[in-house]
Structure 1
Amino acid sequence: MSETKNTTPFSQQLAYINKGTLDAELTEALAEVTKAVMETNKEGAVTLTVKLKPLNKRNENMIKLTPTVSTKIPELDRAETIMFSTADGDLLRDDPDQHSLDLKVIEPAPQTAPIKLAQ
């Protein structure tokens, strides 16, 4: 990589792009991804892309910068569900080949106070 003298550091350029709002956006994105990485224990990412293009052909020293910030926020694993499929593509919670029993809850008999015998 060639070294250019009198080049403004990237960190300073970042403060100039979009009047400083890009720096604030990246700070927020980094915090959001960091929290998700700590919560999920999975990898995340913040990506900054800066496209540069000449503003016009008449003035060769003017460049237009277009920043894009993208994040890859890790997510928690989702719970899995096991269901039973039928021949026509329906999904059922209960196995259609399993017979169900007609079970009923039996309420316990009310407790009576013990009888004390006189001595």
Structure 2
Amino acid sequence: MVTAFNESKDLAYFASKSLLNACNYLVEKSNNSKLKFCNIYIPVIIIEGILYESFLKNNGTLSLSKVNYSTIANTKSFDDSASSILTIASSLKLNNFIKELRNNNDTFFDKFIELL
């Protein structure tokens, strides 16, 4: 993840690092609690402007497309508990992103409510 067309500090890196630190703090705080509860964290970074996603195609050419949101896997180590999925969303269609997130959460809880 990089901030494109910008010569200032790497805001993308600092935003993702700050978000992961905040999530780690919340996880540690709840794990150290004597209360029994379940927390689900959905780390999201909202950017102003247009968000692009790119990858290399099989033929070696670069694919670049405008997206409303994207996800990245942050693997600080090979330990499963130290990896996180971060979502980056554009503010341009934030309402659509929030509605889709809400629908996904409702579907998850409807499907797994008995197990929880």
Name whichever structure is richer in strand by fraction.
2
Name whichever structure is richer in helix by fraction.
2
Structure with larger RCO (C-alpha < 8 A, sep 6+): 2
Q: What is the TM-score of this pair, normalised by structure 2? A: 0.28
Q: What is the TM-score of this pair, normalised by structure 1? A: 0.27
Structure with the greater alpha carbon radius of gyration? 1
